[in-house]
Structure 1
Amino acid sequence: MTRPRRPSPVTPSRPTRKSAPARTRAPRGRATLEAPAPEATLPLEEAPAEGRDPVAVPPRPRAEAHGAPVPHPVEGSDRDRLLAGEHHDPHALLGAHALPDGGGVAFRALRPHARAVAVVTADGERRALHDDGDGLFSGVLPLPAVPESYRLAVRYEDGGEVLAEDPYRFLPSLGELDLHLVREGRHEELWRALGAQVMSHQGVTGTRFTVWAPNARGVRLAGDWTFWDGRGLPMRSLGSSGVWELFMPGIDEGTLYKFEITGPDGHHSLRADPMARRTQCPPETASVVTSSEYVWGDGHWMAHRGDRPVHEAPFSVYEVHLPSWRPGLTYRELAEELPAYVKDLGFTHVELMPVSEHPYSPSWGYQVTSYYAPTARLGSPDDFRYLVDRLHQAGIGVIVDWVPAHFPKDDWALARFDGTPLYEHPDPRRAEHPDWGTLEFDYGRTEVRNFLVANAVYWCQEFHIDGLRVDAVASMLYLDYSREYGDWAPNEHGGRENWDAVRFLQEMNATVYRRCPGVVTVAEESTAWEGVTRPTDHGGLGFGLKWNMGWMHDSLVYVSKDPVHRKYHHNEMTFSMVYAYSENYVLPISHDEVVHGKQALVSKMPGDWWQRRAGHRAYLGFMWAHPGKQLLFMGQEFAQGAEWSEAHGPEWWLLDDAYHSAGDHRGVRDLVRDLNGAYAAVPALWERDTVPEGFQWALGDAADDNVFAFVRYDAAGTPLLAVSNFSPVVREDYRLWAPDGVAAWAEVLNTDAARYGGGDVRNAGPVKREADGVRLTLPPLATVWLVPA
């Protein structure tokens, strides 16, 4: 995996915390607890006598009008901790509480910037609370019991008033089962328990806010409706779970929020929600309350996507970086173009480079700060659902890149979230990622493992994703990955294996396959770790497929050599068959191979422009016939000569009439379309990808000729003969072994066809089998596929 390293932890601009007087209007017309709204104006008392201050409250110890006593204000350590944002149970102090022996009901409220606060009961009675200073107000009403409902009338310095529900009158809105599963690290739908959840609670509509911060002294909620001042909204701790909770009545979808965390050292930090399902568009960093109303239309696809095991099915993948495929398009606009393009070219799947929210665009999405939120750069979560839905309706599967290997150090995100190493490992030797300036997850911590496992399920379940390509698996498996001697700590057995990461990957794969039938997980794993695609119950990691990085590297080395030197590298093309059945492989020509000076695929080829395009076509023909599934990055399907740039995307102008000559870039794209068409129609190319019975060399040692020939077989034994000539000369009457039982062979694909830009050297008509095999005409720098005539 090669991608830009962030120059430093970037802290994009964030909403500014203010301590100015309360605002004079509610944002976007929502109900608000801090912003007085004119339509909510209420008298705090009956009309006063002339010259009397309408909000004046008699000072203590004077009794209230009904003779009820004024309750003791919050004092001592409780007051200090409450005002400092360090109280674990603010609900025990704030809200309504019955006094002993029928002494009435005590009310307390924390409203910074308020001038006066009154309680409004269900029968309309209003009683002013005493100002205890520092935004605290208290009073006693002569009520027999705590009322089922009441509201607070709050007046501010500018004279505005607001009538609002008291968030501290509500019981905890998170159940014991949820808390138990969080503690155990077994909550497979964690996004339903943590984060911001729009809901109805005790008959009131609002939003439940929950966050896991076990080492925090205190947590407060801040949002756009509080001017990012969290002093008035302390959250309560829900015991040993480490979860903090607050139900906010009247807060609905679209509200911006963060959590103000007080760490063990007393330091305050304003943090985005790790479980946010929607975010502001970067560089802004707030989380956004959201709930989905999307109605899916892909029922047929979802019901049948798992009918055939993926390793026995066609699997041809077009890799896409959504922001740059057609720069400027939103999710919904992409949904009008991408499915049609991919379907026309015959790919079975698209693979989307990471779509989770990330602050630094040149990271291409591989440095994630919001694992549960599709990037807001292209639209809303429901907009992303629409794109997936349209791809499914076009018969195209959707795989997304998933990055559980590391996360950035931004101080508003996951790093030292509660003031301690929480998501990252506490040992810097296991937390610091040396390649990317990021942090690695602590896979041994149950809650962290749960956060990631549930996230994998979330994308598959909530967005109908068909597969997860797991990034940088090797960096997770080895404790010494990219580390020098002395810079890493061995495991408990003295080895370099990260057994915590192994157990995490096994749990993730087992959970995803159990909960989401038809989904496939794909490992980007660049080493020879044994059993990556072996089932977990047999000791493997449990992935469905693995990128064949060895094949990719070796074959690109071969084709980059001048043809006269290729005979010295012949084994680079044949070695893959030594281990081809050790795993279930995907052959990737990904974004990593066409950036950072590596050149585009066509530009890796030697020779003049014609020879480069011919080599490009021959290589694709070889790749599509080789055992394993295949993946091709955008732009390579029409032989773009320049490296990919995330700022500009593919060079689509190369396909315009002004730049088109017969068989040029359009010809290469036509070849990819025909490769996929023939591939899907010939089961020999995919049905037995993972068993040796599906392959046989016809000619594997013709190093001097730069020729490779092999036979692929389907489950019924029907063959396909693939022959690649990587020399720039025509080879007439070239003799090859061919399997018995086939009297004649016919070309089904020839990458030298004129319509692709080739010289149109063909085998006209059926090629009859002779006693010693077949004799073919091999076009230069070309691959030919033949099937029984």
Structure 2
Amino acid sequence: MTSKKSATPKNKSGKSKTDKSKTGSGKADRSGAEEPRSDRAAIPAARRPEPPARPDPVEVAVSPAIGAGDRARLLDGTHHAPHSVLGAHPVGGEVAFRAFRPYAQAVTVLSGDLRAELHDDGAGFFSGLLPLTDVPAYRLLVTYDGTVHETEDAYRFLPTLGELDLHLIGEGRHEQLWRALGAHVTTHQGVTGTRFAVWAPNALGVRVAGTFNFWDAGGFPMRSLGSSGVWELFVPGVGEGELYKFEITRPDGSRTLRADPLARRTEVPPATSSVVHASHHEWGDAEWLARRADTPVEQAPFSVYEVHLPSWRPGLTYRQLAEQLPAYVTEMGFTHVELMPVAEHPFGGSWGYQVTGFYAPTARLGTPDDFKYLVDRLHQAGVGVLMDWVPAHFPRDAWALAEFDGRPLYEHHDPMRAAHPDWGTLEFDFGRREVRNFLVANAVYWCEEFHIDGLRVDAVASMLYLDYSREPGQWTPNEHGGRENLDAVAFLQEMNATVYRRCPGVVTIAEESTAWDGVTRPTHHRGPSGFGGLGFGLKWNMGWMHDSLQYMSHEPVHRSYHHGEMTFSMVYAYSENYVLPISHDEVVHGKRSLVSKMPGDWWQQRANLRAYLGFMWAHPGKQLLFMGQEFAQGAEWSEAHGPDWWLLDPAYGAEADHRGVRDLVRDLNAVYRATPALWQRDTDPAGFRWITGDAAEDNVFAFLRHDAEGNPLLAVSHLAPVVRHDYRIGVPEDVPAWVEVLNSDAGRYGGSDVANPDAVKPEPQAWHGQPASIRLTLPPLATVWLRPA
């Protein structure tokens, strides 16, 4: 059977309709870039040349329509191989063309001078058999009610993913997974468009929906790439800024519309669509990256300012933050900033710790390139960038990862293992290689694509223990009968080993609140527990934080009974590579701000705080301070309004109050960075020596720090509200004189200005186990640092 039809659709004037795809309309896309227009549209009408004459339509032999089974699966969204029936295929010495275009009135094949209208098979299916020996390059002219589109046929293209990508994905070893999955603007077989790929092994079918097809996924089924579980489709003409999601047909036949797990850009919450993205940022931090790995982090100064970007200065974008944050951090002398989670999250009140877009910086503050700009500017200012990373769990939002393809996929298949008991979220299945790959590649992604210098891994303890926050009967022991999550151990080891191998100079930091052995031990070194080390570079010292704050909360008259809370940390100080954290967790949910934890009146509270910070900066380990605490903010932190910057306004009379504490923190950092004794041997017991750790009745702690050449710094903390004159402190005999280099009681910090203004010479009187001693005036509630004159 044959049919003769005109192959050229007409508009009401009788002229041929000009076809334009959505991306060729000449309108600006969401990125602000001008989309291409046809040359004809740019020529004034009076001077436009007449279009060439259309060739006569050819006779089209109607090919056998798509079989009933394939037809039903395409309509139901359950077809695994749409390219095998759609597109152009040699058939018996001719070429069969088949298209599935729901709501189309006509479909015409265009190839050179050839124009052939396909037969309408009903329900959006069109087909035709043309007398061609080979499959030509062709386009489709699709007529809808009131409009005509000329477009490439998505089903004439070969897969965009190769065998190596699929093999690595199947093995769980694709270390740049984001380059294979997700949405990528690319040129494929000479045509520009976007490649979509998603892992959904349990799906009966996957289709892609977005602004480019008016959110109707019917005509955009993806193909399954074998046993990999990956579905792929190259859509010509789709460019940057288009919104999209994946429509997944679950094993029970129901459908769900899901955001892309590897989307590199998202809509601004509460909207949930993924956004096609291509980066155009040109980095300017080559010098920073080149020297980043020169010194191991445990032997380098490392003073961290923790920041919640949305509330540091509320209302600022990434680019506006880039104009203010580097200058402030540099002025304060911190070596690094640590950003609370920046990966996309639907609920701002989670502070970023319930992530749905693991590969996308939150759109609340700008685009991914805007975030790169912020990191770049920090690096150019000499500031390292750490970020909180949350691989322990994810929320249950129905448009995100939970039961992504209709069955537990990213979460554990055992409901008891999947449900996180504390946060109402789901735990990742660390034993599934593809899930482990998703997370390991994500860690690499932030370091390679965004030049992040370190990952602080959240909630490590909740990952390591099967019985974490669970009662008996709510968890199942591991294969050895123990409570350790062996899958999580293997994941953390692989993540750390991969990041350190691929990204020189990057540090990983564990928020681990238990006594797990070997958190910062290399993965190939086994400890007494039989496990290899987890491979982190640093670990938060939660014990020091808890004990020291507990001591400081007591009235000075009671502190002698709690003296060991300040000294116990040195019993285990060298078991791991530690960071001393005063983080956001300590100044929220009724815990009060740091200064408000201190006893006494307002003067004493500030004096206690200053003395505590001096003790902290001298103690072995790196330092971390949360924003607002550097100027003694009195209120708890709120993500709604951020730090109380008005407290620093001179009109408030802040010079002696909040500005004094801020100036102390700035000077602590300045002296710290200039004094290798305070950081060079943080993980070496030879770098520390107690002078007196048992002066409980006096509330005094004194110790020496030494650098690699043996140069000392003497730190004395006096945590009683009295002045002690001629207080004798033992010192080495080889230092001719000591001078104050920092005194937290200085008047410019808001203190009483009790000091040792002159050099203090040792006396040949042995004291505190030292061959000589000095007599100091100890200010009230203060820490004093001295160094050789």
Work out whether the TM-score is over 0.5. yes
Q: Find the counterpart in structure 1 of residue 81 from structure 2.
A: 89
TM-score by length of 2: 0.92
Equivalent runs, 1:87-166 vs 2, <5 Å = 87-100=79-92, 102=93, 104-123=94-113, 125-147=114-136, 149-157=137-145, 159-166=146-153
Contact 2:632 2:658 in 1 (8 A): yes
One-letter amino acid of the structure 1 residue matched with residue 132 of structure 2: L
Residue 401 of structure 1 and its aligned partner are, at CA, apart by 0.3
Partners of 2:210 and 2:497 in 1: CA distance = 38
Residue 132 of structure 1 and its aligned partner are, at CA, apart by 1.2
Residue 79 of structure 1 and its aligned partner are, at CA, apart by 1.2
Partners of 1:582 and 1:65 in 2: CA distance = 82
Contact 2:392 2:428 in 1 (8 A): yes
The answer to whether residue 501 in structure 2 is matched with residue 517 in structure 1 is no
| C-alpha distance 653-759 of structure 1, shift in aligned 2 (>3 A) | same
Q: Find the counterpart in structure 2 of residue 256 from structure 1.
A: 243
| C-alpha distance 284-29 of structure 1, shift in aligned 2 (>3 A) | farther
Residue 31 of structure 1 and its aligned partner are, at CA, apart by 10
Contact 2:21 2:237 in 1 (8 A): no
Q: Percent identity?
A: 73
Q: Find the counterpart in structure 1 of residue 6 from structure 2.
A: none
The answer to whether residue 284 in structure 2 is matched with residue 292 in structure 1 is no
Residue 589 of structure 1 and its aligned partner are, at CA, apart by 0.1
| C-alpha distance 30-77 of structure 1, shift in aligned 2 (>3 A) | farther
* 1:26 corresponds to which of 22, 26, 29: 22
CA RMSD of aligned residues (A): 1.9
Partners of 2:101 and 2:438 in 1: CA distance = 34
Describe the SS at the equivalent of 1:311. helix
Q: Find the counterpart in structure 2 of residue 389 from structure 1.
A: 376
One-letter amino acid of the structure 1 residue matched with residue 66 of structure 2: V
Q: Find the counterpart in structure 1 of residue 302 from structure 2.
A: 315
What stretches of structure 1 of length at least 5 have no aligned partner?
A: 1-22, 49-63
Describe the SS at the equivalent of 2:393. coil
Partners of 1:110 and 1:732 in 2: CA distance = 92
Partners of 2:24 and 2:575 in 1: CA distance = 58
Contact 1:406 1:441 in 2 (8 A): yes
Deviation string for 1:53-112 (max 9, x for gaps)?
Answer: xxxxxxxxxxx963x531111132211111100010000110001112x1x211111111
Contact 2:21 2:149 in 1 (8 A): no
Partners of 2:694 and 2:441 in 1: CA distance = 49
Describe the SS at the equivalent of 2:216. coil
Residue 698 of structure 1 and its aligned partner are, at CA, apart by 0.6
| C-alpha distance 574-30 of structure 1, shift in aligned 2 (>3 A) | farther
- Structure with higher RCO (Cα < 8 A, 6+ apart): 1
* 1:371 corresponds to which of 343, 350, 358: 358
Equivalent runs, 1:196-275 vs 2, <5 Å = 196-275=183-262
The answer to whether residue 773 in structure 2 is matched with residue 785 in structure 1 is no
One-letter amino acid of the structure 2 residue matched with residue 646 of structure 1: E
| C-alpha distance 582-344 of structure 1, shift in aligned 2 (>3 A) | same
The size of the alignment, in residue pairs, is 741
Partners of 2:39 and 2:271 in 1: CA distance = 31
Contact 1:99 1:105 in 2 (8 A): yes
Q: Find the counterpart in structure 2 of residue 636 from structure 1.
A: 629
Residue 144 of structure 1 and its aligned partner are, at CA, apart by 1.3
Residue 757 of structure 1 and its aligned partner are, at CA, apart by 0.2
Q: Find the counterpart in structure 2 of residue 19 from structure 1.
A: none
Partners of 1:99 and 1:406 in 2: CA distance = 51
Contact 1:588 1:630 in 2 (8 A): yes
Residue 690 of structure 1 and its aligned partner are, at CA, apart by 0.4
Q: Find the counterpart in structure 2 of residue 8 from structure 1.
A: none
Contact 2:23 2:237 in 1 (8 A): no
Contact 2:20 2:148 in 1 (8 A): no
Q: Find the counterpart in structure 2 of residue 774 from structure 1.
A: 774
One-letter amino acid of the structure 1 residue matched with residue 630 of structure 2: E
Q: Find the counterpart in structure 1 of residue 65 from structure 2.
A: 73
Q: Find the counterpart in structure 1 of residue 604 from structure 2.
A: 611
Contact 1:31 1:250 in 2 (8 A): no
One-letter amino acid of the structure 2 residue matched with residue 635 of structure 1: G
One-letter amino acid of the structure 2 residue matched with residue 289 of structure 1: V
One-letter amino acid of the structure 1 residue matched with residue 470 of structure 2: R
Partners of 1:275 and 1:152 in 2: CA distance = 31
| C-alpha distance 615-761 of structure 1, shift in aligned 2 (>3 A) | same
Partners of 2:758 and 2:460 in 1: CA distance = 49
The answer to whether residue 393 in structure 2 is matched with residue 403 in structure 1 is no
Contact 2:21 2:150 in 1 (8 A): no
Residue 29 of structure 1 and its aligned partner are, at CA, apart by 3.5
Equivalent runs, 1:736-747 vs 2, <5 Å = 736-747=729-740
Partners of 1:331 and 1:114 in 2: CA distance = 44
Partners of 1:640 and 1:508 in 2: CA distance = 37
Q: Find the counterpart in structure 1 of residue 670 from structure 2.
A: 677
Partners of 2:706 and 2:38 in 1: CA distance = 77
Deviation string for 1:397-453 (max 9, x for gaps)?
Answer: 000000000000001001101111000000011110011100000000000000000
Residue 46 of structure 1 and its aligned partner are, at CA, apart by 7.2
Partners of 1:417 and 1:116 in 2: CA distance = 36
Question: Which stretch has the larger CA shift, 628-637 or 77-86?
Answer: 77-86
Residue 24 of structure 1 and its aligned partner are, at CA, apart by 11
Equivalent runs, 1:708-719 vs 2, <5 Å = 708-719=701-712
Deviation string for 1:534-568 (max 9, x for gaps)?
Answer: 00111100000000000000000000111111111
Partners of 1:92 and 1:166 in 2: CA distance = 13
| C-alpha distance 203-309 of structure 1, shift in aligned 2 (>3 A) | same
Q: Find the counterpart in structure 2 of residue 582 from structure 1.
A: 575
